[in-house]
Amino acid sequence: MRIWVGGVLSFSYMTVAILLNIVNGWIFFRSPMRFPLTLTTIHMMYGYVGCHLLQFLSGRPGWKWLPAPEELPQSLSSPSSRAGLGLLSALNYGLNNCSLLFVNVAMNQIVRSTMPVLVAAFMGAFGRRQYSAVMWLSYIIISAGVILTIYHNPQFHGLGVVLCIASVGCGALQVSVAETLTQGGQRADVLTFMQHTALWAAIFLAPLAVAEDFPVYLYQAAVNPIWVATATIATACLAFLNTLLLFMSVRATAAVFTGVVGNLKVVTVVILQQLIWPSDARQLKPVNWLGMVITFAAFFFISHRQWLEYKAEAPSEQAAIPNSTKGDGDDAC
């Protein structure tokens, strides 16, 4: 069951991430609405409210806007841990959106293709997982496949690349911590994890947004109120779904596998562009097609190894469930 749940969640995450990536790239790089910090802050606030609405609508008992520390999972009971997770989230999304002011999506994705390697390094440093040489090589190969797919069309800008590298590092650390907290003995549920990271991320980002680009947001809202409102709501919904599906995928599969899915997403975007705008196909060189083949081959290899790992873990997990609680569905999400 876990295999199917993980597969559906990973596919859903990739689909939403593709839409969000295309929309954000257009907004920050090609449109006049250049206010990444303000928009990211709004996304975090929307995520905080959205988590609470989902908990309220699901009828979760004991729902509160701000639960007391003793009512939280042990992994989130410390204010410093919640603030640290929020800071990672703020840096991950904020720096990534800021990088799109200076580099195009291709350059951004080249840097972000290193995510699986960084996540594997963090998970090894945490002592959560130890990867074989074959898996390390497969993570490097799928990252190389993405680079070969899109390397011919990057727009290099020193500051933009630095911002993107910093964002990738924070994002890799964030999903590594998310796996540790949502899959451990005192695991936090995804909505509780998200609402506290979103709240603290908004707190960290709000002063920077007000000082940097909030006046631009107000000006654009006055000039193009319908367009700004539509873009804000649409991107906020996509960002919320993207983050929700990301952490659900992390809990159902593994942090490093979400990075692998992210790399597959990049190549899928390139293929979709060729199908939607066939004239652009002539811009691709043989080495780009080779990169696509490498990426897909590496993805299927890693997925197969992940499937074998689940099959090996399933008997021990089933044996660890008491008879009175079997079939309650808790591990299916």
Q: Using a pLDDT cut of 90, give the percent of the chain over it.
A: 10
- Determine the average pLDDT of the residues in 196-201: 80
The pLDDT-based confidence of 141 (bands split at 50, 70, 90) is: very high
pLDDT of 294 > 90? The answer is: yes
- Is 50 exceeded by the pLDDT of residue 324? no
pLDDT of amino acid 253: 81
Its pTM stands at 0.73
Minimum mean pLDDT among 10-14, 125-129, 285-289: which range?
Answer: 125-129
**Across 125-134, 177-186, 190-199, least confident range:** 177-186
Print the SS3 string covering the chain.
CHHHHHHHHHHHHHHHHHHHHHHHHHHHHCCCCCCHHHHHHHHHHHHHHHHHHHHHHCCCCCCCCCCCHHHCCHHHCCHHHHHHHHHHHHHHHHHHHHHCCCCCHHHHHHHHCCHHHHHHHHHHHHCCCCCCHHHHHHHHHHHHHHHHHHCCCCCCCHHHHHHHHHHHHHHHHHHHHHHHHHHCCCCCCHHHHHHHHHHHHHHHHHHHHHHHCHHHHHHHHHHCHHHHHHHHHHHHHHHHHHHHHHHHHHHHCCHHHHHHHHHHHHHHHHHHHHHHCHHHHHHCCHHHHHHHHHHHHHHHHHHHHHHHHHHHHHHHHHHHCCHHHCCCCHHHC
Residue 184 has pLDDT above 60, yes or no: no
Highest mean pLDDT among 144-148, 152-156, 329-333: 144-148
Specify the range with the lowest mean pLDDT, choosing from 5-14, 121-130, 185-194, 288-297.
185-194
